[in-house]
Structure 1
């Protein structure tokens, strides 16, 4: 017996393509970050703390779609590498605030350059017009979804 193809199934390839591209992006980032002993996942946490002023584990979980256990383990590793500092909130000792350690700040200053090199590698097959079109399409999707990080980073520059 054969499995019939649902009428809209060919359109689901878009999810596959977006997901595989995101995976490839992380693999390229991992390779570019290897000399710094940081992973793509850790890169995202450091970027959020350094450039988007995210200073709590809960907000990192929301912005990066990670569960609290995974975030705790990630922060443990970053703290062990002396890149991140966790401090108890003075007003409410149950809450933790995050900051970059000295080494984390030094690395965070290099992350945009490293990220740009990785994106150039990923998108190098595209012509400049294609890159611009892809950027416009992604912005449109993210702005219409109300993505706070995109809106914070780009403001009204849709």
Structure 2
């Protein structure tokens, strides 16, 4: 039996992800931040004080990749690592003032980008897509 993998659900989701990531990269390039760095920065903004293990899980990154991203964000003075008050071997991650300023500059651009990505869908279709993707993800976790 022949399979057309270009029509498979996995391929379609992967292709949409790559195209969206590339478009986001072009959209935020002027801020001198990558999509991976933005993902980490917005996750920290949602809840400051994650340890690196929790943050890696939230960002879907392995710990080594996250460490590299955090090193870059720290070098750019966008985040800071603070020693945990309960475990001196652990670092908690916080945004700096400069990180908050950059986040506030990028957010409207990213929201407009997200809106443009979904403009061909009705509100009901967007809700249905969210529902179906959540269902798929929960099946895979």
Structure 2 unpaired stretches of 5+: none
Partner residue, 1:23: 18
CA distance in 2, matches of 1:95, 1:146: 30
Relative to structure 1, is the Cα distance of residues 54 and 93 closer, same or farther in structure 2, using a 3 angstrom cutoff? closer
Partner residue, 1:67: 62
Relative to structure 1, is the Cα distance of residues 38 and 10 closer, same or farther in structure 2, using a 3 angstrom cutoff? closer
Partner residue, 2:2: 5
Structure 1 unpaired stretches of 5+: 148-158
CA distance in 1, matches of 2:109, 2:57: 24
Partner residue, 1:48: 43
Superposed displacement of residue 121, structure 1: 2.6
Superposed displacement of residue 12, structure 1: 6.9
TM value normalised by structure 1: 0.75
Q: Which structure would you say has the larger Rg?
A: 1
Alignment of 1:79 with 2:56, yes or no, is: no
Aligned residue pairs total: 141
TM value normalised by structure 2: 0.83
User: How big is the alpha-carbon RMSD for the aligned residues of Structure 1 and Structure 2?
Assistant: 2.6
